[in-house]
A = this chain, B = another copy of it.
Amino acid sequence: MQAHTCPDIPTESTTPQTFSDAERAAVYRAIHERRDMRHFSGGSVSDETLLRLLRAAHHGPSVGFMQPWRFIRVKNKALREGIHTLVEQERKHTAEALGERKDDFMKLKVQGVLDAAEVLVVAMPPGREAHVFGRRTLPEMDIASTACAIQNLWLAARAENLGMGWVSLFDPAALAQLLQMPDGAHPLGVLCLGPVSEFYTRPMLEQEKWAARAPLQQMLMDDVWAQESSLDAGGSNASAR
């Protein structure tokens, strides 16, 4: 084997630094065709692919470069069933809390823990309070960083033609106990990952009429909260992709 100059730094950018139109379009395609999947078709994900996805997550941005994420790959069947049970329990608690939308909610499929090829639990490790850079006034930036890592994994999965769903219906203390996490660790998501027979053409919660996407225009303001944006997001579909 030949010696490599930088064997541990595969992320050095190469020249040229610019993205082509085709590359740019591919990035937008992943962003717009990513879906929160709950329907999986079994199958498997190769170790090589899984490592590519995990490396994409690990190259997410993190406040002060703290890298506050850990990934537990749950292969054990009993543990998977334990997670499934925790999600079902929280699903019922959530349904009760939703009141008049209870029945609509109970019709939705909210997880694929038993069907997906892989289940990854994402958790933040103990000791996060030691990280002050960018978090003194916004301590939640560790959560934000971990979410960015998950979004990287999600987009990469879409580009690998794999579905992913982020399940947050669980009691974090119970999940931490099930997976023997140390005090101070905090699970943020159960990721279901694997082949799907097809991707939803629109977000499932939109297809099921649980909620509608707000017009982009309503999300935008100029300078201060009360001032409408001078950008014209309405009807400009040609520029949307």
Contacts and interface: CB of A to CB of B under 8 A. Distances in A.
Interface of A: 4, 7-13, 17-19, 22-24, 26-34, 36, 47-48, 50-52, 54-56, 58-61, 63-67, 69-76, 79, 90, 93-94, 97-98, 105, 123, 132-138, 140-141, 143-148, 150-152, 154-156, 158-161, 166, 168-172, 179-182, 185, 188-189, 198-199, 201-203, 205-206, 210-211, 213-216, 219-226, 229, 231-233, 235-237, 239-241
A6 B86 CA distance: 39
A206 to B, nearest CB: 7
A31 B222 contact: no
Number of copies of this protein chain within its complex: 2
Given A18-B161, A67-B219, A168-B63, A98 B233 contact: no
A188 B23 CA distance: 29
Contact of A138 (B145, B188, B213, B214): B188
B221 A70 contact: yes
A23 B73 CA distance: 27
Nearest to A158: B19
